[in-house]
Amino acid sequence: MQDIFVKDLAEHLGKEVRLKGWARNIRSSGKLLFIIFRDGTGEVQAVAFKPELGEEAFEEAKKLTLESSVVLTGVPKEHQKIAGQYELSVSGVKIVQIAEDYPIGKKEHGPDFLLSNRHLWLRAPKQWAILRVRHTVYYAICDYLNDNGFFRFDSPILTPNACEGTTTLFELDYFDEGKAYLSQSGQLYLETGIMSLGRVYDFGPVFRAERSKTRKHLTEFWMMDAEAAFVEHDENMAIQEGLIRYVIRTVLEKCDQELDILERDKEALIAADAPFKKMTHYEAVEYLRSKGSQITHGSDLGAPDELMLTEGSAVPVFIEKWPKEIKAFYMKRDPEDENLVLGNDLIAPEGFGEIIGGSQREDDHDLLLGRMQAEKMPIEEYQWFLDLRKYGSVPHSGFGIGLERLITWMTGIHHIRETIPFPRMIYRIYP
Ligand code: 4AD
Ligand code: MG
């Protein structure tokens, strides 16, 4: 007999097959037993009918509990009531292990309980759908970059210095070398990679000791940093837009079923795949003030500002040309206004906030050094980074996507903590 997966049921209609997985739900009524069976690839309703299955096998099937593991044999059929769905007419049941008192039941559980049982919660249909969207988003990003001349270049996680300021660094003792820090972004290392490969990206966990207890912050999250030689500010944004729009299309194409499970408004995603809007930071502040906000020209945008800026917009909005004081030391000054830098944030619509931070990089040695001195950075520790501006410096740009922020937007879920298998937040590190 052939072992198959739930996803392939349609190809085996009318033939007896074997499936291996778990009972997500069980319901019985007289001579009938309905098992919602899942195997990782999908789920199907399996129907055991006592007169067909036989007394003994039926009694065995009735032992099944929530989340027990089981091997079912049966015949796949078209669902009697729902077109395009299938059912399994059960002909055999082999229990692998009986799960006693599965703690996650049908009643509502609070987020704290679910997070403490994250190792089990991952099996729930919505979590399954989110994990699959995560997989799709991850590979869509890689595919786009691979097809556009970028090479994977893995940056280190243990680093001797900060990339995004010193306030959110996780510090640890590093043998006789003093302190080391967990990477906040691979960007500075990627800048070395372009001098060898031209265009590079990394993709891995980064760490921020963020005190922020919001629905958009994790202390460990995944970032894709991309960097390209001879790419300037406008082209940098064009690459970001091309990449994000490719991700949207891929998710719509490959995750239709998952988006249904998550009750995601697909029309909103379809509408977001159109030319993105652009605003300078100055224009953004003017706009916000005209709407009654108290924000001033030298300040960063908060979550309510980001929401207001995208309200009524179906597409993401680039905020570019920021005051240099509120952006990182490595951003290139705007040749038209030395108080500004050629940085951009990309704000997702529907209140999902900043998904990308990027910029053209300062490629002039003395200007960069001056900026670092003004910020009282330890110059010796960044000598390697300054060297890049001494030996064949070129205009270059890059950006970093927060993977979980992007998944939160694609899935439309409320809180970022469900987009990563094991979320790390200031108040949680278990399990
Ligand atoms: O804007 P950020 O800080 O930019 C950088 O780190 C640059 N060095 C990237 C680069 O140019 N290569 O972070 C990039 C993105 C943000 O736009 C946001 O999506 C995400 O990372 N992010 C977080 N996601 C979850 N939790 C947090 N605490 C995050 N902080 C940033
Ligand atoms: Mg940012």
CA 132 to chain centre: 11
Ordered DSSP codes for 87-112: EEEEEEEEEEEPPPS-S--SS---HH
Query: Would you state the pLDDT for residue 211?
Result: 87
Is the shortest distance between the CB of 164 and ligand 1 below 6 Å? yes
Class of residue 294 by CB neighbours under 10 A (exposed 0-12, middle 13-18, buried 19+): exposed
Q: Tokens 């003030």 identify what position?
A: 289
Cβ neighbour number for residue 6 with a 10 Å cutoff = 18
**pLDDT confidence of residue 423:** 98
- For the Cβ of 218 lying below 6 angstroms from any atom of ligand 1, the answer is yes
Which-ligand-closest: CA of 221?
Answer: 1
294 DSSP 8-state letter: -
208 C-alpha to ligand 1 centroid (Å): 9
The CA 400 to ligand 2 mean position distance, Å, reads: 9
> What is the DSSP code (8-state) at residue 161?
S
CB 357 less than 6 A from any atom of ligand 1 = yes
> Which atom of ligand 1 is least distant from the CA of 399?
11
Cβ of 200 closer than 6 Å to ligand 1, yes or no, is no
Among 142, 144, 118, 117, residue whose Cα is nearest residue 130: 118
Strands 353-360 and 317-323 turn out to be unpaired
Q: Is the CB of 355 under 6 A from ligand 1?
A: yes
Ligand 1 binding pocket includes 327 (Cβ within 6 Å): no
Place of tokens 């739930």: 6
76 ligand 1 Cβ < 6 A: no
Query: Among 405, 416, 426, which residue has the most ligand 1 atoms within 8 Å of its CB, making it the best to mutate?
Result: 405
DSSP class per residue in 145-157: HHHTT-EE-PPPS
Listed residue (15, 31, 3) closest to 88, CA to CA: 15
- Extract the tokens encoding 269: 């995603």
Q: Is the dihedral of CA 377, 381, 383, 389 positive or negative?
A: negative
Query: Which one of the ligands is nearest to 401 CA?
Result: 1
Q: 328 to each of 76, 263, 375, how far by Cα in Å?
A: 58, 38, 10
Buried residues in 268-283 as b, exposed as e (16+ CB within 10 A): ebeebbeebbebbbbe
Pocket test for ligand 1, best of 168, 189, 221 (most atoms within 8 A of CB): 221
In short, whether 221's Cβ falls inside 6 Å of ligand 1 is: yes
Phi/psi of residue 152, nearest 5 degrees: -70, 130
Written as tens digits, the pLDDT of the chain (431 aa) is 899 999 999 999 999 999 999 999 999 999 999 999 999 999 999 999 999 999 999 999 999 999 999 999 999 999 988 888 999 999 999 999 999 999 998 678 999 999 999 999 999 999 999 999 999 999 999 999 999 999 999 999 999 988 898 889 999 999 999 999 999 999 999 999 999 999 999 999 999 998 888 999 999 999 999 999 999 999 999 999 999 999 999 999 999 999 999 999 999 999 999 999 999 999 999 999 999 999 999 999 999 999 999 999 999 999 999 999 999 999 999 999 999 999 999 999 999 999 999 999 999 999 999 999 999 999 999 999 999 999 999 999 999 999 999 999 999 999 999 999 999 999 999 99
User: Exposure pattern of 337-346 as b/e (b: 16+ CB <10 Å)?
Assistant: eeebbbbbbb
Give nearest CA residue, ligand 1 atom 2: 357
The residue among 302, 297, 319 whose CA lies nearest residue 233 is: 319
- The answer to whether residues 81 and 47 touch, using CB atoms and an 8 Å cutoff, is no
Asked if omega into 431 is within 30° of 0 (cis), the reply is yes
> Does the CB atom of residue 163 touch ligand 1 within 6 A?
yes
